A = this chain, B = another copy of it.
Amino acid sequence: MPSSTVENYLKRLFIEQQKQPGQLVQMGHLAEAMKVTAGTATSMIKALADSGLVDYEPRNGVKLNVQGEQLALHVLRRHRLIELFLVQILGLDWAEVHPEAEQLEHAVSEKVLERMDGLLGRPNFDPHGDPIPSADGIIRKQQLATLLNCPRGQLMKIARIVDQDTDFLQFLDRHALRPGATLTLVHLDTLADAVTLQLGGERTLVLGTRAASKILVEPA
Residues of A within 8 A of B (CB): 86, 89-92, 96, 100, 103-104, 106-109, 111-112, 115-116, 119
Among residues of B, the one whose C-beta sits closest to the C-beta of A107 is B107
Q: Are B86 and A112 in contact (CB under 8 A)?
A: yes
The reply to whether B106 and A107 contact each other, CB–CB distance below 8 Å, is yes
Closest Cβ–Cβ distance, residue A119 to chain B (whole Å): 7
Residue of B92, B100, B107, B111 near A92 (CB, 8 A) is B111
Task: Report whether B104 and A92 are in contact in the complex, using a CB–CB cutoff of 8 Å.
Answer: no
* A115 x B90 contact (CB < 8 A): yes
- Nearest first, the 5 closest Cβ-Cβ pairs linking A and B are A107-B107, A90-B115, A103-B107, A104-B107, A100-B109
CA distance A104 to B109 in the complex (A): 9
Q: Give Cα A90–Cα B115 distance, bound, in whole angstroms.
A: 6
Interface contact A111-B119, CB-CB below 8 Å: no
Q: Which of A86, A96, A111 has the most CB of B within 10 A?
A: A111
Q: Which of chain B's residues have a CB closer than 8 A to the CB of A115?
A: 90-92
Residues of the B chain whose Cβ atoms lie less than 8 Å from the Cβ of A96: 111
* Shortest CB distance A137–B (Å): 22
Q: Decide: B109 and A103 in contact? CB cutoff 8 A.
A: yes
Q: Which residues of B lie under 8 Å from residue A91 when comparing CB positions?
A: 115
Q: Given the complex, which residues of B lie within 8 Å of A103, measured CB to CB?
A: 107-109
Q: Nearest chain B CB to A111's CB is how many angstroms away?
A: 7
Cβ A111 vs Cβ B100 within 8 A: yes
- Minimal Cβ-Cβ distance residue in B for A89: B89
Minimum C-beta distance from A85 to chain B (A) = 9
Bound complex: CA of A96 vs CA of B92, how far in Å? 27
| Cα distance A106–B119 in the bound complex, in angstroms | 23
Q: Cα distance A43–B216 when bound, in Å? A: 53
